[in-house]
Every structure is written in structure tokens, then in C-alpha cells.
Structure 1
Amino acid sequence: MSGIYRPAQLPLLVSHYTATSCAGIGNEALAESLRQRRGGLVRDAFAETDLDTFLGPVAGVDDIVLDAPLAPFNCRNNRLAQLGLLADGFLDQARLAVARYGAQRVGVIIGTSTGGVLETELAYRHRVPQTGALPSGFDYGATHSPYSAVDFVRRLTGARGPSTAISSACSSSAKVFASAARMIAAGLIDAAIVGGVDSLCQTTIYGFNSLELLSAQACRPYDPDRNGISIGEAAAFVLLERWPGRPDAGGMALVGYGESSDAHHMSTPHPEGLGAQIAMRGALVSANLDASDIDYINLHGTATPSNDIAEGLAVSKVFGMTPCSSTKGATGHTLGAAGALEAVVSILALREGMMPAGINSRRVDPTLNVNYLLENRLAEMRYVLSNSFGFGGTNCSLVFANVAGVSDLLRERDQEAP
């Protein structure tokens, strides 16, 4: 451990968590997919597109019916959010936290890259012929706006504390954890409902296609033959609370976060991953850990040639041969929801004592010099790091720990405190 004393703003208790993606609805389905090395990507099965690519749609989204008071929020993104909130009893637990702390003391921070843009795409198909006006029933604020998902979650849970949407491309729902930690440290709130939700739409699918970043195969992160991403959708949520005196044996925690903005290029990462290095080192300092303390790294691992090279160089520089993998071969790249989804993957890795292998990848690119897992590995772990890097150089790394890891951190902190 680094021996650098930090204020007691961390750890934060991860009391409840859930993830829904094409790999399954809820934690058990996701964990089983990872155990079986089974993904949910399918050849373009989204009715709105006709490209030769693999996508990760979530089954049952269009079967969700919102309650009448929430009808203005009806769009694919919010239906996906509700499907995710209902999994693992998360919505009930969030409401209990609101009742326990008080509505004003629970914040809501949600990451998304495009919000409900599909609803706007559909509205444009039904413009008034004479004027070009959008249909009268179209409500941008309740559907397309990035804040729509935040408002929707607030209304479902009853939380009334400080709330915000974060839209920083693919790091969006990793940064929500850092924002929540700062709000709790500042005394603004006692708990936060954080997460990410992003749904399939033409804007992202055709946008990435125009950048020549879509693969015609299920994505293969860190494989020498990788040639692009597979876009998925997901809704993942975590309830963060102030650390209690005596957590239960299965307790998990957020113990560190690091952020950076290298602004190297609008869509291409810094070739040496300098921003990624800054974010990862910042997460270690925040957690009061050394690189050698991290047992497993959940990589951003998008399967584009340049992204995997940049991240691989950064990981090799900071961590050497720490075991790592990308789970995007199972879930697809869920864009603004990826940070929260893979935070839950990291928590499940700690819970299951399993480092999940990357799937679809057959070999590891030897030029990347990382210990990339092609087979699941059972191991006792205390600390897991999760990376999320977005367009424009918006980077975020998170460190999660099990109760044994937190106990060690708190013991060292008590010994070093003046």
C-alpha cells in the first residue's frame, strides 16, 4: 500500500447493485454469463438499422409499461432504466434508503451518452408535412434530454437530493461514482443512487459506422485481429452510502477513483494512453494503494485497434502484468452505461472470486504486453480496478474492494493518522 494518508471521504459502502444488459437481466444472469463465457451479442437485430454488425439489445424493453403518472417519460431509454431498476429488488432498496436517510439526503447521478435520442429520431419521421414541425406529443425534456433518466429515477425512488446527469461519452457512468463521492464528502448527501443507462438508436450505430469503428463480427478486445466495436445497451445501478462501523461479511465498497481529461483528440485516444495513466494512478492514490495491490483490472477494452493499444500501453506502464480482461465481448460496448455496468462486473468478480475472461478473443495481441485472460481464473481478491475512457479524452478509473480489503485500508489509515 502506498502509505499516503487521505481524508476519510472513502470508502463508500456499495450496499446494493444491479446490472441489465444483453448478457442478462440482473446480477445472477450476468454472473452466469461470465462464468459460462457466454455473450449476448447477435447479428444486427435492431429494427431501426440495416448494417452488417453485431449488436447487444436487451430483451423485453418494449414490454415495459410505465405507470400513468410517468407516461410522459415513455421512451426506450427510460423503459430500459425501469427494467434495470426492478432487477435484484434494487428499486425497493433505493426507496428504503430514501426512507432511512430522508429524501433530501439521497442524490441521483446517472450517466448516459445519448439519452432517449431514439424518441427524437422517431419523432422526425412523423413531422407535420406542411411545416416540418415535430409531433405535438413529443416531449424532448422527458425523453431525449440526458436529464430525463435522472428525473425518471428520482420520481420512481422518491429521492430529492442533489441530482445530475453526466454525459462524457463512454466514461459517463464511471464518473457518477466520483461525483457521488465528492457530494457525500462535502456533506451534501448521505447516500446516492448512481448508475448508467444507454439504449440502442440510429445516431450511435450509424455514427460509429461512419467512423469505421463497427465490426462485422462480435467484438474481440485485445485480439490481434480485432477490428471494431459491437454496440450494446444496458442499465446498471449502485446504491452508495456512507461507510458503516461494521459492514456485513459480504460488504463491498468504492475505495478509490481517478479522473483525467487529456483532450488529445475528439475521437482518438492519446497514443501512449497518458490520460488513462493519470486516471489509474489517481485512483490508486485516492484508494491509498500501490499498483501491486490491485488483483484484477476490468479493461475499457473496446476492440478498436487504437483504443486497445493506448490502454494496453497505459496498463503495462502502471501495473505491469496484473491480470486483466475486457467483458465487452459479452455485453457489447454500452457507451454511456459501460462504466456502471462494468463497475457491477468488478463487484461481481470480487463476490464470486472469479476474474472473468474476455470472450470472442482467440489470441492476445503480443504487442500489448498485458496479462489478458482468455480463460476464467478463480482467485481470492481484495481490490479490483475498472477503466472507462471516452471520446475527447475523458477518462475515469474506479477501485472497488471487498470487506477484507476495506478492513486493511482502514487499519492502515488508523495507523498513519496523526
Structure 2
Amino acid sequence: MDNRVVITGLGITSSLGHSLDEVSSALAQGQSNIQLQEDNKQFGFQSLLQAMIPPQNKYKIERRKKRFLSESAIYTALCWLKTVDENNLDPQQFTGPDVGIILGNDSSAQPLEDLVATLQKYKETHFLGSTMVIKVMNSCCSMNLGPLIGAQGINITASANDASGAHALGYAFNLVKSGKQQAIITGGFQELHWIAMASFDALGIFAQSLEPKTACRPFDGERIGTVPGGGGALLVMENLERAQRLGHKIYGEVIGYGFNSGDKSVAQYERCMRKALHNAKIDPNDIDYINANASGIAADNLEAQAIYNVFGPQTFVSSTKSITGHELWMSGASEVLYSLLMMRDGFIAPSLNFQQNNDIPHINIVTETLQRKPRTVLSNTFGLGGTNACIIIREY
């Protein structure tokens, strides 16, 4: 018999803040931290916009351990410390072979700048030391978190560009549901280093605007591109029996995971959402909120049409990317976390800067904070290159 899978811990590092309450408040107020990143001028960026992560001093990583950590891996370690602290979890309960780690990440560009600088200065590879080989791997996040926690089950990184975090959650869900793992620490992470963002800027997909607060306009007919964001989102998944036995707080239940790949099209997006619904054994009418993938680019129209085809005009829809920017590799995980905070605190966050779009069917886009608890949520992630993932969560 399949296990029920619940989420019992959340940890976040994002442009909206460093605690769950800070992030929930920013979502409810539609308060973004998108700013101009002037440092990127020197690298010839077309867009200077970025969702900036505020500084924090509460959580510290030992200097000895930090030597092995890339930017994304630092976010990972911080998120684990926050998860334990904010959710009153006992770290000893997440050691051993029944607990695994599956994280979403698709770059480790930040250490490459140090690597190249070292080779140019010393002309010999041995000056790179023993830590560089770990820091430049996409799996740096999961590779370091395992020993930090003491988890000895599965330890892998899902690399699927924008859908990395969502697929990490989906894989974790399947393994806990099947009983192959009792608990999995999962999530997604995104570095903000300029090397990680330069190739995206070259595509012209970042909004070229000097007005940070109105630059990101998902679904809007006058949208001009997305805005990069980053940080990390960590979620603890456990089977229900274990969570109850250990007395863990339950934020919500994961009930569905749909995935596919192919061309960016209405048909593919629609198929992915229907697969998630089928996996969850629910009907479209059971979904009362969709956290859309829309980020302010051309493909927003495709998603709008696919949502209309599956759900019609009534289901509430918004894109938290209008507040956070596009958090890329972490977005599929962070947007599930944001949805769980809305579920906890009884509101639906607005889709900022949407006015009208005559090229899409009428879907119920929330433009101002709605004081209504979402009880069953679909979170869409449609990645670059056509890798798609949809996660369904519901109130427990």
C-alpha cells in the first residue's frame, strides 16, 4: 500500500527574507525586492535587474565547512539550519539509511571565477587545492548536505534547468510514497553569480527596464521579460506515519506529480497538468489555486491557454515570480513552499503588474491579495528546453 506523503519542515533563503514569517508577509503584501544590480554593467549585461537577497547574521556556517561550499551549497546549509530551528526538528531524527537527500540545482558557476583566476596566476592546477573539485559540481549542494545532516539514504541532484526543484520534489514524493525512503530532504537552489546569469541575459529574456517594481509582468500583454532571482528552498518530506509518530508539524500533503518533455506548446503544458491531476486522483474542479509558471516571457500565453483548457475561467491563478523574480533552478521548489505558506496563513498572493492581455483567454488572475485559504494547489514549472513538472499539494 502506498504511503501518504506530508511536508513537515520548511526553510527559505530568498529575496523576500530569511524566515518563513518574513517571506509570508512579503507575499501577502506583494512586496518584492527587485533592484538594479549595477555591478553587472562591467560585464555588458543588457538587463541590470535582479531580485536581491537581503543580508542575514543569525545563522553561521563553520569556516572549516564553508571551504567546500559553492554559493548554492551555502544557501543549502543555511536553509537546513533554518529548517531545524524554525520547525523545532531534532536533527538526530534525520540520520541513517532511511533518510535521503534529493535537491534541484543546475549550475555551480561561482567557483569557476576563482578557478580561472588561480590558474592564470599560478599556471599550475595543484594550486586549486582539494576543495575546488567539489565546489564546481552541480551536485555540490546534495554532496555537502548529506554529511552535514548524517542522512545515509539516496543522495542525488536533479539537474533540469528551471524544473530542477520541481523534479527533485517529485522524485522525493515518489520514493517516500513507495516506502523506499521514510523521509527525504528536498528542495531547489539557485546561485546569483554573474556567470550563472550571463548566458540568460544574452538570450534577451531578462527585462530591460530601469523600473524594478514594474519590470516583471507575468501574463500581461505588455510584458518585457523576466527578472533573475535566487537563493534556496528546503522542504522535509516524510511518510505520514513517521511524521505523526515523531510529533512533527504538518504543513500540507503532497498528492500528485506530473511530468513530461517536448516542445513548448499548449498541448505539452496541458498534458503535464492533466498527468498531475491523474496521479493525484482528483478532478480539475478540486484545484482552487494555481501558482503559475508564468514569468513575463512569450510562453506565458501558452500556459494561460493550457490553464483555460483544463480548468476554465474560475480557478484562481497568480504567479509569485512577479514578486520574487524567476528563481530558476529553485523555482519549482520555492513556489511549492510559497504556496504552503499561503495555505498556512490563509491568503493567495497577487500576480503583480498584470493589467490586460487580449491574446489569452479569460483566466482568473489574482491581481490583489485575496484573503482566502487555498486548500488544494497546483504548482506549475515549465522549463527551458521543454522539461516540465507539476506538483499538487493539499491541506492536511
Task: Please report the TM-score for the alignment, with normalisation by the length of structure 1.
Answer: 0.85
2:386 maps to 393
- C-alpha displacement at 1:135, in angstroms? 4.3
For 1:226, the aligned partner's letter is: R
Look up the SS of the partner of 2:135 in the other structure. Answer: coil
For structure 1, the residue ranges without an aligned partner over 5 or more in a row are: 1-6, 404-418
CA distance in 1: counterparts of 2:218 and 2:278, whole angstroms? 28
Instruction: Tell me, yes or no, if the aligned pair for 1:61 and 1:80 is still in contact at 8 Å.
Output: no
- C-alpha displacement at 1:260, in angstroms? 0.6
1:252 maps to 252
CA distance in 2: counterparts of 1:380 and 1:59, whole angstroms? 28
CA distance in 2: counterparts of 1:350 and 1:375, whole angstroms? 17
Distance 1:138 1:391, change over 3 A: farther
For 1:354, the aligned partner's letter is: F
CA deviation vs aligned residue, 1:47-85 (integer Å, no higher than 9, x gap): 685533210232237997532542432332222222222
2:82 maps to 87
2:212 maps to none
CA distance in 1: counterparts of 2:122 and 2:375, whole angstroms? 63
Look up the SS of the partner of 2:224 in the other structure. Answer: coil
What does residue range 19-34 of structure 1 map to in structure 2 within 5 Å?
Answer: 19-34=12-27
Choose 158-167 or 41-50, whichever is displaced more: 41-50
CA deviation vs aligned residue, 1:193-229 (integer Å, no higher than 9, x gap): 0011111122332111111111023311111111111
- C-alpha displacement at 1:110, in angstroms? 0.3
Instruction: Tell me, yes or no, if the aligned pair for 2:207 and 2:216 is still in contact at 8 Å.
Output: yes
CA distance in 1: counterparts of 2:234 and 2:150, whole angstroms? 16
1:349 maps to 342
RMSD: 2.5
What does residue range 17-416 of structure 1 map to in structure 2 within 5 Å?
Answer: 17-45=10-38, 49=43, 51=45, 52-60=47-55, 66-88=61-83, 89=85, 93=89, 95-98=91-94, 102-114=95-107, 116-129=108-121, 131=123, 133=125, 135-137=127-129, 139-217=131-209, 218-244=215-241, 251-262=251-262, 264=263, 269-270=264-265, 272=266, 274-305=267-298, 307-321=299-313, 322-359=315-352, 361-369=353-361, 370-403=363-396
Choose 180-189 or 322-331, whichever is displaced more: 180-189
Instruction: Tell me, yes or no, if the aligned pair for 1:35 and 1:376 is still in contact at 8 Å.
Output: yes
For 1:225, the aligned partner's letter is: E
Distance 1:91 1:28, change over 3 A: closer
CA deviation vs aligned residue, 1:238-287 (integer Å, no higher than 9, x gap): 1111123969896411111101112x2xxxx22x2x22212111111111
For 1:193, the aligned partner's letter is: I
CA deviation vs aligned residue, 1:86-139 (integer Å, no higher than 9, x gap): 2252686262431xxx5100010000121x211112321332357475842373
Distance 1:12 1:396, change over 3 A: same
For 2:77, the aligned partner's letter is: Q
For structure 2, the residue ranges without an aligned partner over 5 or more in a row are: 210-214
Instruction: Tell me, yes or no, if the aligned pair for 1:94 and 1:157 is still in contact at 8 Å.
Output: no
Distance 1:230 1:8, change over 3 A: same
Distance 1:141 1:316, change over 3 A: farther
Distance 1:80 1:66, change over 3 A: same
- C-alpha displacement at 1:288, in angstroms? 0.9
For 1:330, the aligned partner's letter is: I
2:2 maps to 8
For 1:142, the aligned partner's letter is: I
- Residues paired across the two proteins, number: 383
CA deviation vs aligned residue, 1:154-186 (integer Å, no higher than 9, x gap): 122111111110010000011112111222234
For 2:52, the aligned partner's letter is: P
Q: Work out the percentage of aligned pairs sharing the same amino acid.
A: 24
CA distance in 1: counterparts of 2:311 and 2:88, whole angstroms? 39
Choose 228-237 or 41-50, whichever is displaced more: 41-50
CA distance in 2: counterparts of 1:72 and 1:160, whole angstroms? 22
Task: Please report the TM-score for the alignment, with normalisation by the length of structure 2.
Answer: 0.89
Instruction: Tell me, yes or no, if the aligned pair for 2:68 and 2:132 is still in contact at 8 Å.
Output: no
CA distance in 1: counterparts of 2:240 and 2:187, whole angstroms? 19
Instruction: Tell me, yes or no, if the aligned pair for 2:164 and 2:332 is still in contact at 8 Å.
Output: yes
- C-alpha displacement at 1:187, in angstroms? 2.9
